C-alpha cells in the first residue's frame, strides 16, 4: 500500500466529522460516508476530486463514470450530473476530497510551460484518469496542512500549484490547458453554460447564443455537446428540472407554479420531463420529499430511475 494514501485516509478521518467539511485550506473540501448513498442530482463546479477509500459513480448525459482510490475525476466546466457513493461501510467509510479548480491559477502556471500556447482542441468537461504517486504526494501534503493551520497561508498556494502542475503533466493536461485559455472552445462553451445557468427560465436562440461565443450555430452545437455530452437544450432542461425540484422541496410551491417559474408554459410537458428525469411526477415527488420515513422504498425506486437517465 502506498504510504501517501494511508496517510490521506487518516487525515480525512481526523478532520471530516460530517458528510462534508469545508476546510481552512481555500477550495479544499473533505467528504465521508459510512454507507452507499442514493444518487443525487447536482451542478458540479470545476473541481479535482480524489477518493482515498471507497468508490463513487457519476452520470453525465448518457455516460457513466466510475472512480475509486486508483482514479481521480476532474471537471472543468459547470455540469449537471447525478452522483452517488457505491462502496462504503462503517468499518471502511468512503473518504474523499475535492479541490476547486481556478482557471486563472492554471493560466499563471502555463506561463512557465512550453504548452501554454498549444490548443489541444475541444475536450470533454468531465473525465476520469489514473492517480499517480507524483500527484498523490502533494495532495496528501495539502490535507496534512490541516494539522498545522499556521502553515496554510504560506504553503497551501505552493502545494496547490504543485498539484496543478501534476495534473497538467497527466492524462487531463490538455483539458486543463483548454480551461485556462480564454480563447479556447472549452472556455467559449463555459461562457454559454454560465448564461444558460443564469437564464434557464428564458427562451433562447441557439443562433444568438452561438454568436455570443463567436461560433457558428453548427460549430457551437458540436463543441457544446463535445464538452457537456448533451445538447444545449438538453443541458437547459436538466438545469430547469434540478431547480424545480429544489423549489418543490425548499419553497413548498405547487408543481404547476414551479413549472411556470422555471420556464415551462405547459404543465403537462413539465410533468412529463420531470418524471423522465426523476422517475416520478413532480406533485408526488414533492409529497414524498416532504413525507415520512415510510416513503423510503419509493424514494429508492425514484433514485434508481433518475440515476439511469
Q: What residue ranges do the domains of the chain occupy?
A: 3-180, 234-307
Average pLDDT value for residue range 243-257: 82
Can you tell me which residue has the cell 468531465?
A: 126
Q: Is the pLDDT of residue 52 over 90?
A: yes
Q: What is the CATH number of domain 234-307?
A: 1.10.10.60
Average pLDDT value for residue range 65-77: 94
Q: Is the pLDDT of residue 120 over 50?
A: yes
Look at 200 and 287; give whichever has higher pLDDT.
Answer: 200
Average pLDDT value for residue range 228-252: 88
When mean pLDDT is compared across 83-87, 122-126, 168-172, 227-231, the lowest value belongs to 122-126
Q: Is the pLDDT of residue 57 over 90?
A: yes
Report pTM.
Answer: 0.78
- What class has domain 3-180? mainly beta
Cell digits of residue 93:
467509510
Q: Report residue 309's pLDDT band, with 50, 70 and 90 as the boundaries.
A: very low
Average pLDDT value for residue range 71-99: 94
Q: Is the pLDDT of residue 20 over 50?
A: yes
pLDDT score at 9: 96
pLDDT score at 109: 82
When mean pLDDT is compared across 54-58, 67-71, 171-175, 198-202, the lowest value belongs to 171-175
Specify whether the CB–CB gap between 245 and 41 falls below 8 A. yes
Q: Do domains 3-180 and 234-307 have the same CATH topology?
A: no
List the beta strands (DSSP E) in 54-125: 55-60, 63-68, 71-75, 79-87, 94-100
Pairing outcome for strands 63-68 and 126-130: unpaired
The whole-angstrom separation of Cα 263 and Cα 199 is: 10
Backbone φ, ψ for residue 70 (5° rounding): -95, -5
Mapping DSSP to helix (H, G, I), strand (E, B) and coil, where does residue 165 land?
A: helix
Q: Is the pLDDT of residue 291 over 90?
A: no
pLDDT score at 157: 95
Amino acid at each position: 500500500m502506498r504510504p501517501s494514501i494511508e496517510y490521506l485516509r487518516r487525515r480525512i478521518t481526523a478532520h471530516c466529522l460530517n458528510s462534508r467539511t469545508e476546510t481552512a485550506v481555500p477550495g479544499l473540501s473533505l467528504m465521508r460516508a459510512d454507507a452507499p448513498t442514493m444518487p443525487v442530482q447536482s451542478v458540479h463546479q470545476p473541481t479535482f476530486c480524489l477518493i482515498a477509500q471507497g468508490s463513487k459513480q457519476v452520470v453525465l448525459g448518457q455516460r457513466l463514470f466510475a472512480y475509486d482510490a486508483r482514479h481521480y475525476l476532474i471537471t472543468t466546466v459547470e455540469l449537471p450530473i447525478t452522483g452517488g457513493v457505491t462502496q462504503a461501510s462503517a468499518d471502511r467509510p468512503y473518504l474523499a476530497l475535492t479541490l476547486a479548480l481556478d482557471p486563472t491559477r492554471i493560466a499563471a502556471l502555463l506561463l512557465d510551460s512550453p504548452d501554454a500556447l498549444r490548443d489541444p482542441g475541444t475536450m470533454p468537461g468531465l473525465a476520469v484518469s489514473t492517480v499517480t504517486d507524483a500527484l498523490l504526494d502533494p495532495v496528501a501534503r495539502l490535507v496534512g496542512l490541516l494539522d498545522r493551520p499556521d502553515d496554510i497561508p504560506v504553503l497551501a498556494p505552493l502545494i496547490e500549484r504543485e498539484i496543478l502542475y501534476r495534473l497538467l503533466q497527466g492524462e487531463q493536461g490538455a483539458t486543463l490547458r483548454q480551461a485556462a485559455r480564454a480563447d479556447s472552445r472549452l472556455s467559449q462553451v463555459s461562457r454559454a453554460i454560465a448564461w444558460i445557468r443564469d437564464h434557464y427560465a428564458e427562451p433562447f436562440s441557439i443562433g444568438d447564443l452561438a454568436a455570443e461565443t463567436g461560433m457558428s450555430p453548427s460549430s457551437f452545437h458540436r463543441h457544446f455537446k463535445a464538452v457537456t455530452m448533451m445538447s444545449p437544450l438538453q443541458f437547459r432542461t436538466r438545469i430547469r428540472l434540478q431547480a424545480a425540484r429544489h423549489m418543490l422541496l425548499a419553497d413548498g410551491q405547487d408543481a404547476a407554479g414551479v413549472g411556470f417559474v422555471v420556464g415551462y408554459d405547459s404543465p403537462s410537458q413539465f410533468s412529463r420531463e420531470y418524471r423522465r428525469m426523476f422517475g416520478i411526477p413532480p406533485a408526488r415527488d414533492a409529497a414524498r420529499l416532504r413525507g415520512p420515513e415510510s416513503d423510503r422504498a419509493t424514494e429508492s425506486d425514484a433514485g434508481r430511475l433518475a440515476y439511469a437517465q
